[in-house]
Amino acid sequence: MGPGAALSMTETHVDSEFDRALRLAERSCTPGVYDADLDDGWFIGGALHGGYLMALCANALRHRLPDHPDPLTISAFFLSGGRPGPATVTTEVIRRGRSLSHAAVRLSQQEDDGRVERLRATAAFHDQDAAGGAFVCSPPPAPMPPPDDCPPMPRHLDRTDLFDRLDFRVDPSTLGWHAGEPSRQGRMGGWVRMADGRDPDPLMLLVALDALPPVTLDFGLDGYAPTIELTAHLRARPVPGWIRVQHTTRVLAGGYLEEDAEAWDESGRLVAQSRQLVRAPRT
């Protein structure tokens, strides 16, 4: 860690491994620039998990925006794969508003031939507790068996340290690909919670939204499917317990697919949505 006092923006969870992995140290000489030490426990498929990197960046922005500590929407472009070790998080407050503030953030790491940007994101933050507005409509939770009736995630990928951080259960109706019989419907569903019992919050949701196996598997396409861009909308604060997630894809064409995720908490409320543009595996 670099100079400056370590930040703990999620004080209710300070003993969790997720919050330890999100620790930041603001540089006293350059406010708004944070040093981080990317945790090697969040590997999946040869790089650090994109949702973990987004949560780290969102944690830095929370610190910059004390009046608006909750992410409402964050759009991240993934530029290169994150690696364990030192990283720099550079934040810029674009505008502090009455009900919303906007900020940008870049995550970079040093490589042999210079600094390399891993992720660049822009976000709007607000105060979830002050957000009002009528509840007009929201889809009911995607039907799937309860967590105890869903099998754990098959460990099909080479580097899956992520599966030690998260407790995953896969909707068996979306596991056909694992038996060589993908449904080709473009659907993946399951349950996610932190393995160490940490409660869900908006930062955890950024991980949960991109934690299931890629929908490409349900199309019978194995192989590397990198995310180009992911936009998350954090719609409500989740209650403790499991997060139910469903991914769907409508268009797989021209070498790309979109993957939409919806996440519900145990009360049945839709708490987050995301859409990502993914490069299809090259077959």
Within 8 A by CB and 6+ apart from 80, the residues are 116, 117, 118
Q: How far is the CB of 112 from its own copies (least distance, A)?
A: 17
| 138 lies in the binding site for its own copies (CB under 8 A) | yes
Tokens at 171, concatenated: 């909707």
| 264 lies in the binding site for its own copies (CB under 8 A) | no
Query: If DSSP states are collapsed to H, E and C, what string results for 187-209?
Result: EEEEEEEECCCCCCCHHHHHHHC
Taking the C-alpha atoms of residue 175 and residue 182, their distance in angstroms, rounded to an integer, is 7
In the complex with its own copies, the residue whose CB is nearer, 147 or 186, is 186
Taking the C-alpha atoms of residue 182 and residue 205, their distance in angstroms, rounded to an integer, is 27
| 283 lies in the binding site for its own copies (CB under 8 A) | yes
| 93 lies in the binding site for its own copies (CB under 8 A) | no
Q: How far is the CB of 16 from its own copies (least distance, A)?
A: 26
| 94 lies in the binding site for its own copies (CB under 8 A) | yes
Out of 63, 68, 233, 244, name the contact with its own copies by CB under 8 A: 233
Interface region with its own copies, contact rule CB under 8 A, candidates 7-15, 19-27, 94-102, 202-210 = 94-102
In the complex with its own copies, the residue whose CB is nearer, 79 or 195, is 79
Q: How far is the CB of 196 from its own copies (least distance, A)?
A: 29
| 186 lies in the binding site for its own copies (CB under 8 A) | yes
State the DSSP H helix or E strand holding residue 21, giving kind and residue range, or none if neither. helix 17-21
Tokens at 91, concatenated: 């934040």
State the DSSP H helix or E strand holding residue 54, giving kind and residue range, or none if neither. helix 50-64
Site residues for its own copies, window 50-79 (CB under 8 A)? 72-73, 75, 77, 79
Helix (H, G, I), strand (E, B) or coil at 176: helix
Out of 11, 29, 98, 132, name the contact with its own copies by CB under 8 A: 132
Q: How does DSSP assign 55-99, residue by residue? A: HHHHHHHHHH-TTS-EEEEEEEEE-S---SEEEEEEEEEEEE-SS
Beta carbons of 35 and 25 less than 8 angstroms apart: yes
| 187 lies in the binding site for its own copies (CB under 8 A) | no
Interface region with its own copies, contact rule CB under 8 A, candidates 22-30, 50-58, 190-198, 257-265 = 257-265
Beta carbons of 188 and 217 less than 8 angstroms apart: yes
Taking the C-alpha atoms of residue 157 and residue 272, their distance in angstroms, rounded to an integer, is 26
| 247 lies in the binding site for its own copies (CB under 8 A) | no
| 136 lies in the binding site for its own copies (CB under 8 A) | yes
Tokens at 191, concatenated: 């349950």
Using CB under 8 A as the binding criterion, the count of chain residues that bind its own copies stands at 51
Q: List contacts with its own copies (CB under 8 A).
A: 72-73, 75, 77, 79, 94-95, 100, 102, 104, 117, 120, 122, 124, 131-139, 184, 186, 219, 221, 228-229, 231, 233, 235-236, 249-258, 262, 270, 273, 275, 277, 280, 282-283
